[in-house]
Amino acid sequence: MEEQQSPPGTARRGPPRSPKGPPPLLRRWVRGPDGGDGPAGPPWRSTVALTLIVLAGSHVAGRSQAGRAPIDAFALVLLLAGCAALLIRRRHPVVAVFGASAAVMVYLGAGYPYGPVFLPVAVGCFSAVIAGYRRQAWCAVAMLWLGHLLVAHWLYRWLPPSGDSAAPWSQEVAVAAWAVAVVAVAELVRVRREQWAKERAGRAAAARRRAEQERLRIARELHDVLAHSISVINVQAGVGLALLDSDPEQARTALTTIKSASKEALGEVRQVLENLRTPGEAPRSPAPGLDRLPELVEQAASAGLTVETTTGGGRPALPPGTDLAAFRIVQEALTNVVRHSAARRARVAIGWEPGALVLCVDDDGPPSGGEAGGSGNGLIGMRERAAALGGSIEAGPLPSGGFRVTARLPLAGHSEETS
């Protein structure tokens, strides 16, 4: 028989299900809300130990209850059946609790003595509630209690042992209290397990968020470290190739610039990798900041871009994170000018507003219109850096045809030092 093919674009989830079996509503009732199986492997040891307790306790109880029917082969079969149902309580807890309840109800209806016969029902109810089948467990216990009520007060005339009388109502109160206690303890354990599961899930989610943030930070740092230097290398390589025959001296200068830029890029990449390998140790070299702005200007000049810098207002003492973010934002903005603009002149303005550092980088344009060769993540990385500090980035074209990037990084809570 040919296998039925899934429609195009439809992902198959797991093996195909057999068309036979209980309907969805019955499957949900028998196997729980998710219809899934519990852990495999029957609990042999605990079930055998419980069976021995039930058999021994029932024989002892039968000696002290002269008015009840003696333990015979049928009683042993019922006791063993109630305990054997617990072997499937891990995979099918609902079937286990209903099977144990049915066996106990037939046992009591046959007039056999009371005793530890209720233990299989308690264990089955506990397992079902812990597994999440609360209503099913309640119904199984309620079925047993109502069956006992019916047998002990109405059907006892026609059931063994002969000459039996109605049970006192105080006994029904005790049975009801026992049932409520079992369900209450199971519910308490279930709630506690759910709390533990939520705590574990919360810790796992927090760990995933930290790992994701760390991956983003690493990707952003490597992008910012490499993008500027690779852009300078790319421009100088083009210049060197174009002038290799006509102006060897100028080509030599371009190659020297490539060597210097690649060496600096390797040094910064090495610093990033060292910080990743030893996250608990202090970095061996300080992170770059705005004090290295002249280096950016020099590198941009080697790529044919003249950069004018202006600084206004009193300069506060910048925390390392803000200083690094400001440096990277200016670096990426200048890299974008080299990549995407035909301008040969750019301006970098650094200013301080009340509680904020303001960076402005613009160029005269126009856009180069060619393939820049970048990843397209430059502005995204700048915005992520600013957002991580509670700041913002505004970027867009100018009416004159150029492009401007403005960053505002908060400085609240930091003392000012006039330079």
CB atoms within 10 A of CB 326: 25
Helix axes of 169-243 and 320-340: crossing angle, nearest 10 degrees? 50
Helix axes of 134-153 and 119-130: crossing angle, nearest 10 degrees? 160
* Whole-number Å distance between alpha carbons of 343 and 264: 25
* Whole-number Å distance between alpha carbons of 28 and 31: 5
Of 31, 28, 6, give the one whose Cα is nearest residue 16: 6
Please tell me the predicted confidence (pLDDT) of residue 14.
43
If DSSP codes are grouped into helix, strand and coil, which group holds residue 316?
strand
Q: How many distinct helices (H) and strands (E) make up the chain?
A: 11, 5
* Whole-number Å distance between alpha carbons of 83 and 103: 9
32: β partners: none
Helix axes of 119-130 and 93-109: crossing angle, nearest 10 degrees? 160
Please tell me the predicted confidence (pLDDT) of residue 120.
92
* Whole-number Å distance between alpha carbons of 91 and 93: 6
Q: State which amino acid sits at residue 293.
A: L
* Whole-number Å distance between alpha carbons of 287 and 272: 10
* Whole-number Å distance between alpha carbons of 23 and 35: 11
If DSSP codes are grouped into helix, strand and coil, which group holds residue 33?
coil
C-beta of residue 257 within 8 angstroms of C-beta of residue 302? yes
Cα–Cα distance list, 131 to 103, 134, 282 (Å): 22, 8, 48
C-beta of residue 40 within 8 angstroms of C-beta of residue 90? yes
What is the chain's pLDDT, residue by residue, as a tens digit (419 residues)? 444 444 444 444 444 444 444 455 444 444 444 444 445 578 899 999 999 999 998 888 888 877 778 888 998 999 999 999 999 998 899 999 999 999 998 988 888 888 888 899 989 988 898 888 888 888 888 888 888 778 776 776 666 666 666 667 777 777 778 778 888 888 888 888 888 889 999 998 988 888 887 777 777 777 766 766 776 777 767 777 777 777 777 777 777 777 777 777 777 777 666 666 655 555 555 677 888 888 888 878 877 788 999 987 666 778 888 888 888 888 888 888 887 888 888 999 998 888 889 999 999 888 876 554 445 567 887 888 888 888 999 998 888 888 999 999 998 654 444 33
Please tell me the predicted confidence (pLDDT) of residue 376.
57
All domains of the chain in start order, with CATH: 33-167 (no CATH), 207-410 (3.30.565.10)
pTM (global) more than 0.85: no
2 contacts: CB under 8 Å, gap ≥ 6: none
